Structure 1
């Protein structure tokens, strides 16, 4: 199919088949939702987001509502189907950090060399709502826990990550990129969710390992 397709009432077999073989699960999916998509529920299209060529009205709540639904159903499935003890860690979203003064492909869109000061970074809008959904749905999973050995935790990195725009390699994804040459105004940038330099993401892993050690 030419569009992103999300099936809300069916989970992927590659991981559900191995659910009880897992001692630790890390669920980190926030960045996959803010994109055009068609959503199916019970075999029919339940809505779309940013697909004007599909003769459907955008789904209520946009991708934010779908993100929460997917998170809730995933945790409910783990809660209901797990027959072994495990640590289930749900990560919050990490902001992209592109400088709002420039387009994402501008040479200066991702050029900070120092972390933000406390007053410079604010978690708001969609990122705040997605973080809230993770916190609330994880808390609901704890309240509805079916096994005493099931442990649900949140890897809450949103505020931490919002402070680290210096974690981006930006235009310097390739070795010796633009060495000795002027950087053009329009150039491919890379973002922190996939290409973060050592530092911020290492911190995520340090926190995760503390959770595993405490399990």
Structure 2
């Protein structure tokens, strides 16, 4: 059974070594954390997610995400090499919109062509996991901002909260339009990779960037 390997007490070296060059940092993560995973800390397995066969402590994806985010933000505050850094923005998760009536690779699994109109029948309801991931961002960024005011005056921490906005836009994924035939109304096989996770269509991503630019300019 495949799984992710997450090392909780180590940062990716290329990312960490670039801190000295950053004026603005944008952190966007979340979708990979609900995957099956094995978690290491100090060289030892401390838990798993979605691997009951390993007989290890089960850890929830939001709790691990919170731990990773907290350690990352603490590192940023404490890193002497990050003296140029003025703003850290953490984006909340933008939910996927796969239609639960179909498997993910069915051509109709991502076929919405219009935004949701309000919250009719709970269509745009944010899932429990996504809500917990968002909550982790809100709380950990608030804690980091308080710590920065004491130890790194001038360093701002902000949340780019896109979860609710993104939940309303099931039409903004590529869907089956990653197939060239789909643009012309041509045939798409019933079993086809249907991308209802990434945000490649115009609309939400432009709004995300507009909000981010306002955060940068408003400093």
TM-score by length of 2: 0.89
- Residue aligning to 2:77: 79
Q: What's the counterpart of residue 132 of structure 1?
A: 135
1:188 matched to 2:193? The reply is: yes
Match of 1:13 in 2: 13
Confirm or deny: 8 A CA contact 1:92 1:156 kept in the other structure.
yes
- Distance in structure 2 (CA, Å) of the matches to 1:164 and 1:205: 16
Note the alpha carbon deviations across 1:105-151, whole angstroms, 9 max, x for none. 22221111110011131123000000000000000001111211110
1:182 Cα deviation (Å)? Answer: 3.8
Q: Deviations over 1:72-101 (max 9, x none)?
A: 110111111143342100000000011222
* Structure 1 unmatched ranges of 5 or more: none
- Conserved 8 A contact 2:5-2:40: yes
Give 1:210's match in structure 2, choosing from 190, 210, 214. 214
1:133-191 alpha-carbon deviations (Å, 9 max, x no partner): 00000000011112111100001000000000010221111323385644333221012
- Displaced runs of 4 or more, over 6 A: none
Alignment deviations for residues 49-68 of structure 1 (CA, whole Å, 9 cap, x no partner): 11244342322xx1111000
- Whether the aligned pair in 1 keeps the contact of 2:182 and 2:188 (CA below 8 Å) is no
CA distance in 1, matches of 2:101, 2:88: 38
The match for 1:156 is: 161
**Secondary structure of the corresponding residue to residue 31 of structure 1:** coil
Give the conservation status (yes or no) of the 8 Å contact 1:23–1:85.
Answer: yes
Aligned length: 211
Aligned to 1:93: 93
Give me the TM-score of the superposition, normalised by structure 1: 0.91
The structure-2 alpha-carbon separation of the partners of 1:79 and 1:178, relative to structure 1 and needing over 3 Å to count, comes to: closer
SS at match of 1:115: coil
**1:107/1:171 contact within 8 Å kept:** yes
Instruction: For 2:197 and 2:208, locate their aligned partners in 1 and report how far apart those are by CA, in whole Å.
Output: 13
C-alpha separation in 2, matches of 1:162 and 1:180: 27
Is the alpha carbon distance of 1:172 and 1:45 closer, same or farther for their aligned partners in structure 2, counting shifts above 3 Å?
Answer: same
2:54 equivalent in structure 1: 54
CA deviation vs aligned residue, 1:35-55 (integer Å, no higher than 9, x gap): 111101111000011124434
The answer (yes or no) to whether the contact 1:167–1:192 under 8 Å persists in 2 is no
2:28 alignment counterpart: 28
Q: What runs of 5+ residues in structure 2 fail to find an aligned partner? A: none
1:67 corresponds to 2:71: no
